[in-house]
Structure 1
Amino acid sequence: MNKQSAAVAILLASRNGATYLEQQLDSFSRQSYRPWRLWVSDDGSTDTTVAQIEAFIARPDIDGHLLAGPQTGLCDNFMSLIGNSAIQADYYAFADQDDTWTSDKLQRAVQWLDLTDASLPALYCSRTRLIGGNGKPIGYSPLYTRAPSFGNALLQNIASGNTMVFNQRARELLAKIMPVKPVIHDWTLYQLVTGCGGRVRYDPEPTVFYRQHDENVIGNSMEPLRRLRNFHYAHGGRAARWNDVNRAVLSRLADELTPAAKDSLAAFSAIRDNNVFKRLNLMRQSGIYHQQLLGSISTLTYILLNKI
């Protein structure tokens, strides 16, 4: 596909995001890549979010639409956009209301996606630059160096939703899981694309300024206190619950998983039902791995304690 002809649908879920929304909308207008169309699903905002969006899409240089969201949470809001048949494009980009994009975000994604086979699911994602509420840089998200794969996706999500751009085939896979509710839409998309024989591009160059503030629905999981809290929750049963949900989601597309992914999922699913020695052997058979040392250690403790 010629990169100058590929249309991109920007999928923005909003709710009471007036504080930072204008900066994100401005970053859309500064994109070096066109054409794109903005689709916003608003979940009943009571601040000036809707007014800001209406003013933005009223501009003569902006192609945009404002929709009423389901008002049942962030994930459902994004999934409502995925399931909306009126939204059609070559590629789709998730967007969060409180971030800002680099001017070349869509350009970088489309350049890679244009090289992929459209019959295969394809997903572009990137590292992020972390900023505070005041917009000042405070660090980076982790730099993942191991290849994206289904074995990795069973354990963690390296594809942050606010960086994702994906093709029609990937969108179709994500739409097929409904009405089952995923743990979170972006992790599920990473699992589906890798599990169904697709391609994932993790760009080490940040394309999003990822804002960290008190009202984040999902924030940076690498903060020390958040890591400790996540470790506690995971060993308290959250990891097992999330894995149950992920298996239910993947079962919706069992016929589309590759043979290797089916074998990996079967071994991973059997870990919980066996003794410790068998669990360790199944861990090896499943091919699961974490991108980071601490995550690998945590995974081993889940398996030793039968909390997976």
Structure 2
Amino acid sequence: MKQPKVLIMMSTYNGERYISEQMDSLIAQVQVETQIYIRDDGSTDSTMEKLRLYAEVYPGRIHIRSEHNLGVIRSFFELMQSSPSTFDYYAFCDQDDVWEQDKLIRAITLLQTMNSSIPLLYCSSTQMVDQNLTPIGVWPKVPQKQLTFYNALVENSCVGCTMVMNDITFNQIRGSLPSDFNELIMHDWWIYLYVCTFGEVIFDEHPAIMYRQHQGNVLGGSRDGLIQKWRKRLDRFMNGNNHYILSRQARQFLTTYEDHLTRTQIEEMRNLLHILEKSVIHRLWYACKTPFHRQSLLDDVVLKFVIIAGKL
């Protein structure tokens, strides 16, 4: 039986410490035919030297190039633009995690149960580990509400390093990229929002990757208690961090895909964006009835508070 062809896309930056463990886990993937495309985003350490060694051992399977620093969002979209469109599935990959051997085939098996004629996206929980791969906890938990446009516009439930997309998702997104990457919160959120809007997302509760938490990659808030989460959210809001990032990304999404959205979706997005220009009374009224929502009660309260404050 022919094995699925999967392209793994990795953006690296000063990842010398953990890159070998990740590469070994990618090469060890079972029941799939893989190629690995790597764009180094201007590393100044020995990342490229280590990657070249892998490319020499696996010629034709590992493709690497070193380019100037663009930042993580642009780097991953550049990978999408420059990668071939001849694969069955496409996966994003971070430089410092470790994948289980069946990570890809598990994702593909689940994707193959879905409607293959529409954009599809797989994502999963992760096994968070410390720098020595000691388990910390599983994150994120399985979303309790449907992964729809009305949730995805205001919350990302998909961890980018777990994402596997079908060829339709890959080709449609790279064929209509946003005009201003600075308006995007993150590349994975944009793709997640696209598929929630035009296709289907499947969330796997099994953590098929070890998601390493270290000094250069600390997942804020995932291990915090309720009080700590509230305090961090309040601090970010009071300091002006994250003001308007949701509305900016939503506006860019509307600009990019308006011709493909339903009339209802367009009206709901415009209502959300326009309410920010109204009085606080109007914003309070809208926050109580908005169709846009987040997964947890805590995060949904925060969303309503940000709408009322006019800082979405």
Q: Is the TM value for this pair above 0.5?
A: yes
2:259 aligned to 241, 255, 267, which one?
255
Who is 1:233 aligned against? Answer: 236
Q: What do the CA deviations read for 1:40-75 (whole angstroms, capped 9, x no partner)?
A: 001122222112212223224871100233412111
Q: What do the CA deviations read for 1:71-107 (whole angstroms, capped 9, x no partner)?
A: 1211111111011154542211000001111222101
1:192 aligned to 191, 194, 203, which one?
194
Who is 1:12 aligned against? Answer: 10
Give the secondary structure class of the aligned counterpart of 2:19.
helix
The alignment yields a C-alpha RMSD, in angstroms, of 2.3
Shift of 1:235: 5.0
For 2:268 and 2:288, the matched residues in 1 are separated by: 10
For 1:228 and 1:69, the matched residues in 2 are separated by: 39
For 2:234 and 2:288, the matched residues in 1 are separated by: 22
Who is 1:214 aligned against? Answer: 215
Q: What do the CA deviations read for 1:95-153 (whole angstroms, capped 9, x no partner)?
A: 00011112221011111222333431111000111111111111121312221111111
Give the secondary structure class of the aligned counterpart of 2:82.
coil
Who is 2:74 aligned against? Answer: 76
Decide whether the 8 Å contact of 1:264 with 1:285 is kept in 2: no
For 2:22 and 2:196, the matched residues in 1 are separated by: 29
Q: Give the counterpart letter for 2:165 in structure 1.
A: F
For 1:62 and 1:104, the matched residues in 2 are separated by: 22
Who is 2:44 aligned against? Answer: 46
Shift of 1:236: 4.5
Give the secondary structure class of the aligned counterpart of 1:108.
helix
Who is 1:31 aligned against? Answer: 29
Q: How many residues align?
A: 304
Structure 1 gap ranges (5+): none
Who is 2:146 aligned against? Answer: 147
Residues 1-308 of structure 1: matches in 2 within 5 Å? 4-60=2-58, 63-86=61-84, 88-143=86-141, 144-175=143-174, 176-181=176-181, 182-195=184-197, 197-216=198-217, 219-224=219-224, 228-234=231-237, 236-250=239-253, 251-283=255-287, 286-308=290-312
Between the aligned residues of both structures, percent identity stands at: 28
Identify if the C-alpha distance between structure 1 residues 42 and 32 changes in structure 2 by more than 3 Å, giving closer, same or farther: same
Of the structure 1 ranges 164-173 and 60-69, higher mean CA displacement relative to structure 2 is found in 60-69
Shift of 1:186: 0.4
Give the secondary structure class of the aligned counterpart of 2:9.
strand
Identify if the C-alpha distance between structure 1 residues 23 and 220 changes in structure 2 by more than 3 Å, giving closer, same or farther: farther
Give the secondary structure class of the aligned counterpart of 1:252.
helix
Shift of 1:170: 1.6
Decide whether the 8 Å contact of 2:119 with 2:168 is kept in 1: yes
Decide whether the 8 Å contact of 1:70 with 1:76 is kept in 2: no
Decide whether the 8 Å contact of 1:174 with 1:188 is kept in 2: no
Shift of 1:179: 3.6
Give the secondary structure class of the aligned counterpart of 1:162.
helix
Give the secondary structure class of the aligned counterpart of 1:94.
strand
Decide whether the 8 Å contact of 1:31 with 1:104 is kept in 2: yes
Structure 2 gap ranges (5+): none
Decide whether the 8 Å contact of 2:85 with 2:171 is kept in 1: no
Shift of 1:193: 1.1
Identify if the C-alpha distance between structure 1 residues 261 and 29 changes in structure 2 by more than 3 Å, giving closer, same or farther: same
Decide whether the 8 Å contact of 1:9 with 1:87 is kept in 2: no
Give the secondary structure class of the aligned counterpart of 1:33.
coil
Q: What do the CA deviations read for 1:149-169 (whole angstroms, capped 9, x no partner)?
A: 111112111101000001222
Q: Give the counterpart letter for 1:261 in structure 2.
A: Q
Give the secondary structure class of the aligned counterpart of 1:253.
helix
For 1:54 and 1:255, the matched residues in 2 are separated by: 44
